[in-house]
Structure 1
Amino acid sequence: MTFFFTISLLILTAATIHVVAAIGSASTVAVVYGTGTICGIIANEPTQRVQCYQNGLKLDVSVSPNVSFESISGGKTFFCGLRSGGFSLHCWDTRALFNPKRIYLNYNVSLTDLTVGVDHVCAREVSSGIARCWRGNRGSPFSSPGDGLKFSKITSGNGFSCGILMNSCKVVCWGYNEISVEIQTQFGNLSMSNLVAGDSHVCGLTKTGFLVCKGTGQLDVPTSSAFEFSGLTSGRGFGCGIQRRNGLVQCWGSGDNNRVKDVSFETIVAGLDFICGLTTRNLTIICWGNAFTSDVPVPMATFVNRVKPSFRSLSR
């Protein structure tokens, strides 16, 4: 069932910030599509903690309330958070009691660019650009691409991850899903500035600002001008972008995802079959799509009138 709901929030800065986000991209808002969970990093408090909502309802407890986080990213049933400073990485199963599990701790090597796929986690070392990965399908390890590859950006989808090489801006993909080889081959020698992974495809902007999508599915990528989009997100067989000139969201591919009209957004992030965005006009999060498990639409006033956290915004 398709429906909308909103969460009121205050943005940390008055400047317009556009964030590129998808199933597995670092942001300050994360969606866990398998359990209808949305989490955000709270700003304007001494501790930049994580607050979560599940199926439209605010959870009774905050996630690690005494710990500050700089970015979070969600997959099918869990999400992960990178602590401020990048030295520690925690993950939470949203089907259980949200008890954190630490999967990385190193005070000498900080991480950035946290990216959660459907069931695996990757992040990039700040100093070296080396990508590190954990977890995987049914608990099996997910291989890292190797220390010889240095990345400026990484993103994760269903059983694969891709990254942009520092020295050439070319795309390299890895993982146990064979689509990773196909996606890398399709990108070929394109020089990319950013990437966002969906279920079995990757969209991104070239160094000259043009939108491209590679992988499987009927994506029907729209013809666009250079630097038309300032933010991208991807799900299962679809992609969406924030139009730079007016902040409106344009989607392409499968599903009826162009149902939000005349609303400008600061940031957008997607699950497999839904999208959430931070609006420019009144700084609320609007979500639309088919992924939530509730059979009854959640009234907009539930969040607008009763829940007013201030979520931190991540500039790029």
Structure 2
Amino acid sequence: MTIIPSSVVAVIITTLIAFITSATLIHGLGSGSTVAVSYGSNTICGIVAEEPTQRIVCYRGGRIISVLPNISFSSISGGRNSFCGLTSDGRLLLCWDTTSSNTTLHFRRVYYNDTVLLENLAVDGDEVCATVNGVNVTGVVKCWRGDRSSQNLPSEVESFVSISSGLGFSCGIRENTRRVRCWGNNAIVTEIETQFGNMPMWSIIAGGSHVCGLNTSGSLLCEGSNSSGQLNVPTDSSMEFSKVALGANHTCAIWKSNGTVVCWGGGGQFLVNATANISFESIESGFNYTCGLTKGNFSIICWGPGWPNNQSYSDLPLPKILPGPCVQPSSCHV
């Protein structure tokens, strides 16, 4: 029997931890989050930390909005006038209308299955997509709601490792080739696919009419419309970002070095950095503003030209929010 020295074992374990951490970070860029923005009503939602149930709570117009049912969720994603959540077991997908003036949001069930589970939740303006995993099925895209008559939806033989939705379109990364594949009624989809070409990608996230993501070399690439400078990644910094969020025509990213955020595009309206000294765990964008989950106290703050307090930022009066998706109770505390 061969005995492996303890020093070698330590190196192996350290390497595995580093690999898992980096893979999770990259995968999370285009996956469901614990924070969601419903941009049509400026409703901001999050999955609550430090409670027995990882429930959802929302904020809109200066008020806390309760969300039913009070059960545990692993991820949420926002669209124009709604947001959706995937329960921790992956069996149930629920959605909520955010245009109601009520202080409590009541759900609509979109999907339930005991054996075919959902992952990679993505919400368009009115459409909801996710990947399904079951017997002989892995990574197949399924969509609900919306007008899908001419969307060139992926077939049931195509598998994806991640998907993300923009305005009137969605894109995903094919499992077998790591190439970008897009569908939807937005004419930009063909341009985005062509620009990414054969570039293998680790992750992508979609905005109004552009898509950004990490390629397999770790560089941040942005393709699609550049009408407001949203594709202009800061020079010589494409490998320095950990998280990215896209709005209608702006892009924001978290610096790996210190967790602060830099934004570009938006016709220059995001050049004033209202959050220069704040570090973030994650960020999500609305139509023309961005919200972030801060490090340390796990609070949500929002800023940008489309946010009511557009000269600075607003610290939302929400409880602590989970810094990342969790599926086990032991991993759901901060």
Post-superposition offset of 1:69: 1.0
Higher relative contact order (CA 8 A, sep 6+): 1
Post-superposition offset of 1:293: 6.1
State the distance in 1 between where 2:303 and 2:149 align. Answer: 33
CA contact (8 A) 2:150 2:184 kept: no
State the distance in 2 between where 1:216 and 1:294 align. Answer: 28
| Cross-structure match for 2:91 | 87
| Cross-structure match for 1:5 | none
Amino acid at match of 2:192: I
CA contact (8 A) 2:212 2:223 kept: yes
| Cross-structure match for 1:313 | 323
Which of 43, 48, 61 is the matching residue for 1:55?
61
Are positions 1:253 and 2:285 aligned together? no
State the distance in 2 between where 1:247 and 1:297 align. Answer: 19
State the distance in 2 between where 1:202 and 1:312 align. Answer: 26
Which of 252, 272, 286 is the matching residue for 2:301?
286
Change (3 A) 1:55 1:142: farther
Rg larger for: 2
Are positions 1:201 and 2:210 aligned together? yes
| Cross-structure match for 2:51 | 45
What percent identity do the matched residue pairs reach? 46
- Partner of 1:181, secondary structure, is helix
| Cross-structure match for 1:12 | none
TM-score by length of 1: 0.84
Render the CA deviation track for 1:6-45: whole Å, top value 9, x for unaligned. Answer: xxxxxxxxx99968878x8510111111111111111222
Superposed CA RMSD: 2.8
Which 5+ residue runs of structure 2 have no aligned equivalent? 1-20, 327-334
| Cross-structure match for 1:6 | none
Which of 101, 106, 115 is the matching residue for 2:113?
106
TM-score by length of 2: 0.80
CA contact (8 A) 2:118 2:130 kept: yes
Which of 134, 139, 146 is the matching residue for 1:136?
146
Change (3 A) 1:293 1:25: farther
State the distance in 2 between where 1:105 and 1:136 align. Answer: 19
Post-superposition offset of 1:251: 1.2
Post-superposition offset of 1:292: 4.2
Change (3 A) 1:231 1:20: farther
More helix by proportion, 1 or 2? 2
State the distance in 2 between where 1:130 and 1:174 align. Answer: 14
CA contact (8 A) 1:279 1:285 kept: yes
- Partner of 2:194, secondary structure, is helix
CA contact (8 A) 1:21 1:196 kept: no
State the distance in 2 between where 1:106 and 1:83 align. Answer: 12
Which 5+ residue runs of structure 1 have no aligned equivalent? 1-14
